[in-house]
Amino acid sequence: MERYLTPEHVRLQERVRRFALDAIEPVASELDETGRFPWENVRAMAEMGLLGVPVPRALGGMGLDDLSYILVVEELAKHDASHAITVSAHTTLGTSPILSFGSEEQKRRFVPPLASGEVLGGFGLTEPDAGSDASGTRTRAVRDGDGYRLDGSKIFITHAGVGEIFTVTAVTEPKRGARGITSFIVCKPNVELERARSVGLGHHDGLPFTEGVRAGAREDKMGWRASDTRELYLENAWVPEAQRLGAEGQGFINFMKTLDSGRIGIAALSLGLAQGAFDTAIRYAHEREQFGRRIWDFQQIQFRLADMATELEAGRHLTYHAAWLKSRGRPFSKEAAMAKLFCSELAMRATLDAIQILGGAGYTSDYPVERMMRDAKVCEIGEGTNEVQRLVIGRHVLQEALDREAARGPISAREPAGATAPW
């Protein structure tokens, strides 16, 4: 991977690795069991700058490139996916829409508290009737004076409870379908104010809190249990025009762009999970003896580990390449979908394989691999299900084939049909 990584990347990786070993690994299992949000570690991550890695320094971030951010998410996920999704959802879903599509005033007002980790952010797209088909958004935004009145609800929203700044979509022009969707910045107070205050972050008094925006009950999830997921209600919530993000009708297209970036983050998170499971399995295989030999001497175990290592290498190339394209301003939508698709499925395979290598021990909470398997599953669902990733990739490859065909000129001017197939 040296071709992608600079000495600064390696140093950042090492810093996050040490933090994850010291502060995350000892509490990961307890957090999974209790579902407690890890405010103490969020504070530590904020102090390290990890909640604003790709945000420009002028807005309070670390000013690093996309690959740096990807490395942070991957490193955290090797030890705990809940910490990794907290950083990932906050950065790509919470902060980046404002950074990418906000006015200078919106950036100045909302990005610094997000980038410093003073408050957490999130993104509300999914609704009860609009999941994979996000264009089916029902939340309405109706003009009212100098602003809009929002009504509706968003489900499965990461940080809906513990976060304070959100970008949400709502329909401003119902007849225009996806082109009638607009996005807005809304603020609500953290529901865990006391706990957050005790660690010294999680709330910013100066935010324009919107009456009528509130969080529902915490979802009881299979994995990512220490990550906060809830419904976000928008009830007769009046939002000033100054908090409309981008032009009317741009909300859907902007969210799609946000998801392209988010997918590289989920790929990195999946990669970290797969690597964490692999590392546990290889250590165990080296220690465990059966039939008078270490189990890694058995060829079936070696082959399983060899396949895992090969797929990890492939997944890392896909993910780092997508981040590399993004940081150079090149198109990366297809590559991000490929990385997310491949790595999330790899995370499922690798965590299941790790459980198999650990045998009965892998099926208990004495080892982290069963938690990693539960954490991996949602990577095939969030930020566009893997069926949706295949649709995205399919559209890209078909378009590329059509473009190649068009570049070859009209059929009549070419060699006999069938001599060279476009596929």
Ligand X SMILES: Cc1cc2nc3c(=O)[nH]c(=O)nc-3n(C[C@H](O)[C@H](O)[C@H](O)COP(=O)(O)OP(=O)(O)OC[C@H]3O[C@@H](n4cnc5c(N)ncnc54)[C@H](O)[C@@H]3O)c2cc1C
Positions touching ligand X (CB under 6 A) are 89, 93, 122-126, 131-132, 156-158, 221, 224, 229, 378, 381-385, 387-388
Q: Which of 383, 387, 400, 415 is catalytic?
A: 383
Buried b (16+ CB within 10 A) or exposed e, 295-320: bbeeeebeebbeebeebbeebbebbb
CB nearer to ligand X: give 185 or 312.
185
In the complex, what is the shortest distance from the CB of residue 337 to ligand X, in angstroms, rounded to a whole number? 13
Helix (H, G, I), strand (E, B) or coil at 160: coil
Spatial distance between the Cα atoms of 258 and 244, rounded to a whole number of angstroms: 16
Q: Is 383 known to be catalytic?
A: yes
What is the 8-class DSSP label of residue 177? G
Taking the least distance from each CB to ligand X, the nearer of 49 and 124 is 124
Where does 145-212 show beta strands of DSSP type E?
A: 147-158, 165-171, 181-187
Decide if 52 contacts 95 (C-beta within 8 A): yes
Q: How far apart are CA 62 and CA 67, in angstroms?
A: 13
- Please tell me the distance from the alpha carbon of residue 76 to that of residue 117, in angstroms, as a whole number: 16
DSSP string, 253-274: HHHHHHHHHHHHHHHHHHHHHH
Q: Identify the bridge partners of residue 144 per DSSP, sorted by sequence position.
A: 147
Contacts 24+ apart (CB under 8 A), 300-305: 301/357, 304/353, 304/356, 304/357, 305/278, 305/281, 305/357
CB closer to ligand X, 125 vs 358:
125
Nearer to ligand X by C-beta: 107 or 159? 159
CB nearer ligand X, residue 132 or residue 300: 132
Q: Which residue is nearest to ligand X (CB)?
A: 131
Residue with Cβ nearer ligand X (166 or 367): 166
Q: Is 361 left (phi over 0), alpha (psi -120 to 50) or beta?
A: alpha
CB of 226 to ligand X, least distance (A): 12
3-state SS class at 61: coil
Catalytic residues: 383
